[in-house]
């Protein structure tokens, strides 16, 4: 069995790494946050004191980091994968970063005799907890088969989107729709609150027509409409992903006026106490701005 290194034990990375340990993988972990490292150590993972130490002990290195800045630092900085690598190793990056960064890192790794698989994650943190994530994979056929056992241990759906870079590009398309739908839902439900409509009956109508959507039907009843805005995917991260989308769209000369407007609303929300709220909490931000009651289900499910 190949030895697996895992870097990045945040809200998504920690349950994914935990599932690998529980399913018998030989895992070594590293993170600047000692809490995540302690949790994985208690499950039986080995701990590395640096990226280089982890790399020397691994055949496949998994990264799950907040942005392209951290991924580039981990791959090619002073204490990095490339500083301690050997030919034949593979990097599996599951972060949501700029496609140009993914492509640049793929070239750097290839020059050192390593390969890159980009496999950003679909679905929510609760799915990561249960090992039910979806992966959008950019990779060669051979590299995908090499990491497939890991992805199967962490999720239920693996979609090969194309060569390296195709995974993150698909993720940006997916997240664009998810975040913009949150904004649309927020505006619609804020208006329903102003009208004084019954929330449950309004949702019955919306779910019975083409107005329904996955955020409103699956995520919101378990999060903001149940009064839970603890972060699964934060408003801060949603703003970051929209910024990635708009930068890529600008490079590709694709107009995205709706996305630009949505990003500005999320930018306003992230400047205050909602920054670390779940992105479904954007409706609470709008209701606060309009001085109306927040929408809540009478019997959350």
Question: Residue 10: helix, strand or coil by DSSP?
Answer: coil
Question: Residue 117: helix, strand or coil by DSSP?
Answer: strand
Q: Are 20 and 4 a contacting pair, CB within 8 Å?
A: yes
Task: For residues 290 and 286, give the distance between their C-alpha atoms in angstroms, rounded to a whole number.
Answer: 6
CA–chain centroid gap for 236, Å, is 12
Task: For residues 36 and 14, give the distance between their C-alpha atoms in angstroms, rounded to a whole number.
Answer: 6
Which structure tokens are listed for 123?
Answer: 């679905």
Task: For residues 112 and 104, give the distance between their C-alpha atoms in angstroms, rounded to a whole number.
Answer: 13
Task: For residues 277 and 256, give the distance between their C-alpha atoms in angstroms, rounded to a whole number.
Answer: 25
Which structure tokens are listed for 222?
Answer: 């378990």
Q: Are 69 and 78 a contacting pair, CB within 8 Å?
A: no
The yes-or-no answer on residue 23 being catalytic is: no
Going by C-beta distance under 8 Å and a sequence separation of 6 or more, which residues neighbour residue 25? Answer: 1, 4, 150, 153
Burial 130-165 (b: 16+ CB within 10 A, else e): ebebbbbbbbeeebbebbebbbebbbeebebbeebb
Catalytic entry in 169, 171, 223, 240: 171
Q: What is the DSSP letter of 298?
A: S
Which structure tokens are listed for 300?
Answer: 């959350």
**Residue reference for tokens 């002073």:** 78
Active site residues: 171
């Amino acid at each position: 069995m190949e030895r697996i290194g895992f870097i990045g034990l945040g809200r998504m990375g920690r349950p994914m790494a935990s599932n690998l340990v529980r399913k018998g993988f030989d895992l070594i972990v590293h993170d600047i946050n000692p809490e995540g490292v302690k949790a994985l150590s208690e499950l039986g993972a080995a701990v590395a004191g640096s990226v280089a130490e982890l790399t020397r002990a691994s055949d496949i290195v998994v990264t799950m980091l907040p942005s392209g800045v951290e991924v580039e630092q981990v791959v090619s900085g002073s204490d990095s994968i490339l500083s301690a690598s050997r030919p034949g190793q593979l990097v599996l990056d599951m972060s949501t970063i700029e496609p140009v960064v993914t492509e640049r890192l793929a070239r750097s790794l290839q020059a050192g005799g390593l390969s890159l698989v980009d496999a950003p994650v679909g679905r929510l943190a609760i799915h990561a907890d249960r090992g039910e994530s979806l992966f959008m994979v950019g990779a060669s056929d051979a590299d995908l088969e090499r990491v497939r056992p890991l992805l199967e241990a962490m999720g239920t759906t693996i979609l090969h989107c194309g060569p390296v870079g195709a995974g993150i590009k698909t993720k940006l398309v997916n997240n664009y729709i998810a975040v913009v739908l949150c904004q649309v839902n927020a505006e619609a439900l804020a208006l329903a609150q102003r009208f004084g409509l019954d929330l449950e009956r309004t949702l019955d109508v919306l779910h019975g027509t083409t107005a329904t959507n996955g955020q409103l039907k699956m995520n919101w009843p378990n999060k903001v409409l149940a009064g839970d805005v603890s972060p699964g995917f934060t408003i801060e991260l949603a703003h970051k992903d929209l910024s990635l989308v708009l930068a890529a769209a600008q490079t590709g000369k694709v107009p995205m006026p709706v996305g630009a407007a949505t990003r500005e609303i999320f930018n306003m929300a992230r400047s205050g106490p909602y920054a670390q709220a779940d992105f479904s909490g954007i409706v609470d931000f709008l209701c606060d701005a309009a001085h109306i009651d927040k929408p809540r289900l009478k019997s959350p499910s």
